Structure 1
């Protein structure tokens, strides 16, 4: 039977979806099979964007239709029959999961005063403890006049009414979260709720502060509200949030001083001089950065004005609607923000706020969800993030001109994974981040042509490469290359690690490391591994990216380094030295190389569990191992696989990745004195975030011994 949580609220616009996302994310760290269930949906025809967002979360493998209990129409028509349908459909989802997040109704315009009581009945019939979400803002969903929120006493009154209703319907309450609370009075609000008699006992109470970006509509939300079309600008920038509205119902001289950061500007379509001035102001960098422009009225842009706009090469979204001034402003003001996966800033902010203000370990304890021995890719990724944030390190990202890097940096900062330095011209990098709606304010943005750093780095590079005859002038030219600049930052302690390769080749990324960082004592070669996250465990594959045809000595180096890497990431190293034969059954130069390498590993790391030569099936399958290599501590349960050459390793990791649906994290470079990691040029934002976390963990372990003590 799955452990369930029923999330409901006492009113609309409480930000319940933010809490649902945080709970789902927390459960996914502990359980391999997490489900989502929407008890009451608005209709079966109109897709529920909250449910879709949660179903898109990594680790959730359910279809949309099976995760809906009943519709509002069905509940109003026959509440008892609808309740039976909800229970029946929930049980089908529960049977597929270890934990289920159940989302209650939304208090839409088709809701009723008895809605909370009906949610309580559903929770009681599903046997699911209730997490109550209260809003710290006025009931109409707008911000309080002082931009703070409801006073603690009023929140306490809301809690009294809501908890009493839930208990009346015999729903079990295990936690209360006050969302959108006054940021300056969180402790007082928590104390006020704890004083409510119905909250007495072992009930968790937390408060999450109001955040303007979570409740703000995006430019796309405004477009949907107006029925407007995008006529100019970058479609990807429709995700940017709108924090203010400026109506250009005045002269140009009076409009410009009224522009605000992240505002949407409403301009009559025949006021082209205001439109052009706003585009120029936005591009200048001396005025606040707009989120978008709305042209209203039944007027088409003159052809010469369109040509002029195209010549400005502006990415700013320009929407067009035929509506008048009143209808346009009303439509903009009625647009509501959606916490959706396509708004990265909101998604990251929601998770960050939940993690900062809700004790997730206490939450899991109250739910009673036991840890699983299975390690899914998602659970492993969460483990990486938690390890990285436990001792934050500074990671330099040299490719500041790549949007993927900026998105990954924003996520890493929001989730507290690492401190970030981005290389690029500060004005350009920050302007592009603003266009994308990303928050990288906490990042250091550094120009690789910064005179002070170039001078310092050139002198150090000249010293390091003096034996090659490098002059200061040559060094000064070299260090402005972003890979050299970033590597020297790591070398001189200005950063703890570097992640690059999204826009550069592997050779371009790691050549400076060979020259500057160099290898650890006792390690002769730099090699790599992939962390292969399978459905239920994580394996280490090396070398799949660096050394084409390693010698026996290099294979031994790769094995010892790979075992150390495995140990860094909580994987007990049991090393399989792979070949086309097992034990003494085969002969030939390739087998002898592996046999010699195995002997060298045993000599260098006598406590390390290692077996070789061994075939892949004997290394992974206990039944095959019992036949081919009985009594081995490695055969049938290997965790580290050392391939005899790059051809075999690269093809094997890709075959496993594609055929088994494994998540391949890497290549993770190993053997260097300080961590430098390479990205695939096709890397996704998630891949970059994972690599930042991996690099941060390597930096934490930079002083560890190369050969780990073996854990059986």
Structure 2
């Protein structure tokens, strides 16, 4: 253990292209999920003058402490060359400066972009020994048989031991899938815990944007947002058009001279035709542009497929394209999800934790909370419907949810257009049902059921047919009839459009007459529940009591011990007025209806969350200073407060999470990010799990 009190683990390899960053990302997620303040340190930076270390940039976004980029770097390669021993001294000093702010630190070794000593691994091992960091060794298994992988591991472990460092685990990465088990069997004889990860082509595939940069190319035509799609294969289109079409593959990039008009037109049309693979892009080489008539025809077709134009000849274009390796950088969402999935599926969390002596303090960081959301959702997969299947954010979230195994999904929308756009984005919807609410065979059944539900309001069968063809109503009817376990909407639709069908069809749970919401506010060291900040404008005392009881139950479902504070501008009996009286009355109603619930009110925000203030204003309360569920007196106060805390304190706001409904349905903000959608689907799945378990 280091003098700072922090514990660390060192990720090291002995050669390039091992996929060490994949392992580092997976271990970092585990550290963040385990708890406490987690930081990252790079002893030797790969960045050159004016450039940032993209691996460090990537990992920093998964940390739970806010330490500036510059402070997370030890030394440069030049400093190692100049004086290796002095460099180690500087690395140790800078590491401890980081560790002072952390409970656990992930240390990521050098990347073999240079040679710092006769054995770069030995130098990394010396660093690890000086930091008291156990090493997880990453070994490349690509193009090696199991015996060779074992032999390499034995040599490297001996090298590490000779430098007075210790190896606590070996990860054989980039195994041929059919040899993974054999590699794992071979590594069992090394005497340390071993894991094997199969080769994942997506992780090394360049995006069209990376190919554009490598070729110094320009975007001739296509949708610029599709430049983030990975090219999994490269083909030179030097044959006739029909033979090129025979050889097309999914996510392939095809290289062809710009004057091959037949090839260009064939590829553009094939890419939009049913039955042909969806390409990643086309590269037109030779420094030419298509003939003006062909140019006009292509532009008239308006293809979304990215088409690049470069100056290189065919051979040089093919050479550069085939040797361009994709980076897993900050914006590489698909690569990040693929890497995390790879680690989750092949590295046992229990085994890895067993090898590491970690700090696990009793705090809840945003990373812990989000990790636990996904882990709990995956523990019992639920079926969720997303009515806004035509939105790119929904499609990208679908991709992430499927890769991580969070939920089974159904999308609503025109199947042809939804699947076509998903294919353009490189998203596989093979395991997803896409239903057109305007033409579904379920319309008659849903119309009959809706007519019965709303007959007291004068609903007719003909009118019901039109209503249930609406995406929001159709999705709600799927939930009502048990075809799905939950629904998430609102990326395109308003809150009213999302919630109105729920009021009419799903209705509220027995004993609760108010549909309300909470936001989970993820602060640096804890998660609070704020309610209601999205639904009820000016609740009565009875509605406020409903909101408090529902919010406490929601908090408990998500691992937050409920201590409820009903907020006011007055603490206890220090103030008066109808607003205070409403909160007083609501607090009494909560105590009557849920006598086992710890609740306090009226109470001011500072007295609710700050122990020193509570000691003065409410010294005998077991809620004051420790509140976890904060209930605002009206929507104006709640909405503004959550946004103020979100922006001013840097909190992550997850929600709104709807509560009080008979079945799980949640509303998205129309500005929702892909990560917001993923979290909301996970929350909805957990609500569905608890409903099935009678909670």
Measured against the shorter chain, the TM-score band is over 0.9
Deviation for aligned residue 1:450: 4.0
Please, which of 78, 89, 93 is the counterpart of residue 73 of structure 1?
A: 78
Deviation for aligned residue 1:556: 1.3
Q: Which residue in the other structure is 1:14 paired with?
A: 18
Q: Which residue in the other structure is 2:169 paired with?
A: 175
Work out whether 1:694 is the aligned partner of 2:683. yes
Please, which of 203, 208, 223 is the counterpart of residue 214 of structure 1?
A: 203
Q: What are the Cα deviations for residues 539-587 of structure 1, in whole angstroms up to 9, with x where unaligned? A: 1111111111111111111111111111111111111122222223333
Give the aligned CA root-mean-square deviation in angstroms.
1.9
Deviation for aligned residue 1:186: 2.6
SS in 1 for 2:507: coil
Q: What are the Cα deviations for residues 659-697 of structure 1, in whole angstroms up to 9, with x where unaligned? A: 222222111111100011101111111111111111111
Q: Which residue in the other structure is 1:83 paired with?
A: 88
Work out whether 1:467 is the aligned partner of 2:459. no
Label 1:31 to 1:452 Cα distance change in 2 as closer, same or farther (>3 A).
Answer: same
Work out whether 1:435 is the aligned partner of 2:424. yes
Partner Cα distance (1:315, 1:110) in 2: 44
Partner Cα distance (1:433, 1:418) in 2: 18
Work out whether 1:681 is the aligned partner of 2:670. yes
Please, which of 5, 9, 12 is the counterpart of residue 5 of structure 1?
A: 9
Please, which of 34, 38, 49 is the counterpart of residue 34 of structure 1?
A: 38
Is this contact kept in 1: 2:65–2:101, CA < 8 A?
Answer: no
Is this contact kept in 2: 1:239–1:437, CA < 8 A?
Answer: no
Alignment of 1:574-585 (within 5 A): 574-585=563-574
Deviation for aligned residue 1:43: 4.5
Partner Cα distance (1:117, 1:623) in 2: 52
Q: Which residue in the other structure is 2:159 paired with?
A: 165
Is this contact kept in 2: 1:213–1:346, CA < 8 A?
Answer: yes
Deviation for aligned residue 1:705: 6.7
Q: Which residue in the other structure is 1:143 paired with?
A: none
Work out whether 1:250 is the aligned partner of 2:254. no
Work out whether 1:621 is the aligned partner of 2:610. yes
State the aligned residue count. 690
Alignment of 1:97-116 (within 5 A): 97-108=102-113, 110=115, 114-116=119-121
Is this contact kept in 2: 1:5–1:101, CA < 8 A?
Answer: yes
Is this contact kept in 1: 2:488–2:680, CA < 8 A?
Answer: yes
Please, which of 338, 356, 361 is the counterpart of residue 367 of structure 1?
A: 356
Please, which of 166, 169, 184 is the counterpart of residue 190 of structure 1?
A: 184
Farther off after superposition, 594-603 or 443-452? 443-452
Please, which of 47, 53, 58 is the counterpart of residue 52 of structure 2?
A: 47
Alignment of 1:540-689 (within 5 A): 540-689=529-678
Label 1:61 to 1:581 Cα distance change in 2 as closer, same or farther (>3 A).
Answer: closer
Alignment of 1:52-451 (within 5 A): 52-108=57-113, 110=115, 114-138=119-143, 150-195=144-189, 199-200=190-191, 203-451=192-440
Label 1:92 to 1:618 Cα distance change in 2 as closer, same or farther (>3 A).
Answer: closer
Q: What are the Cα deviations for residues 338-372 of structure 1, in whole angstroms up to 9, with x where unaligned? A: 12232221110100110111112321232111322
Deviation for aligned residue 1:151: 2.6
SS in 2 for 1:230: strand
Work out whether 1:506 is the aligned partner of 2:500. no
Partner Cα distance (1:374, 1:615) in 2: 24
Is this contact kept in 2: 1:239–1:342, CA < 8 A?
Answer: no
Label 1:90 to 1:590 Cα distance change in 2 as closer, same or farther (>3 A).
Answer: closer
Partner Cα distance (1:454, 1:113) in 2: 72
Label 1:177 to 1:562 Cα distance change in 2 as closer, same or farther (>3 A).
Answer: same
Partner Cα distance (1:517, 1:129) in 2: 54
Structure 1: segments with no counterpart, 5+ residues: 139-149, 707-712
Is this contact kept in 2: 1:43–1:72, CA < 8 A?
Answer: no
Partner Cα distance (1:103, 1:316) in 2: 38
Q: Which residue in the other structure is 1:486 paired with?
A: 475
Is this contact kept in 1: 2:125–2:163, CA < 8 A?
Answer: yes
Label 1:439 to 1:34 Cα distance change in 2 as closer, same or farther (>3 A).
Answer: farther
Is this contact kept in 2: 1:345–1:438, CA < 8 A?
Answer: no
Q: What are the Cα deviations for residues 298-345 of structure 1, in whole angstroms up to 9, with x where unaligned? A: 213344433322221211111111111111111111111212232221
Deviation for aligned residue 1:403: 0.9
Alignment of 1:530-549 (within 5 A): 530-549=519-538
Is this contact kept in 1: 2:40–2:106, CA < 8 A?
Answer: yes
Partner Cα distance (2:63, 2:425) in 1: 23
SS in 1 for 2:441: helix
Is this contact kept in 1: 2:64–2:524, CA < 8 A?
Answer: no
Partner Cα distance (2:693, 2:234) in 1: 55
Is this contact kept in 1: 2:104–2:359, CA < 8 A?
Answer: no
Q: What are the Cα deviations for residues 139-198 of structure 1, in whole angstroms up to 9, with x where unaligned? A: xxxxxxxxxxx3322221221222122112221110000111122233321121111xxx
Structure 2: segments with no counterpart, 5+ residues: none
SS in 2 for 1:580: coil
Deviation for aligned residue 1:409: 1.4
SS in 1 for 2:442: helix
Partner Cα distance (1:83, 1:575) in 2: 51
Partner Cα distance (1:574, 1:91) in 2: 38
Is this contact kept in 1: 2:57–2:330, CA < 8 A?
Answer: no
Q: What are the Cα deviations for residues 98-141 of structure 1, in whole angstroms up to 9, with x where unaligned? A: 22222222233657752222222222122211100011102xxx
Partner Cα distance (1:328, 1:389) in 2: 44
Is this contact kept in 2: 1:388–1:697, CA < 8 A?
Answer: yes
Partner Cα distance (2:691, 2:595) in 1: 22
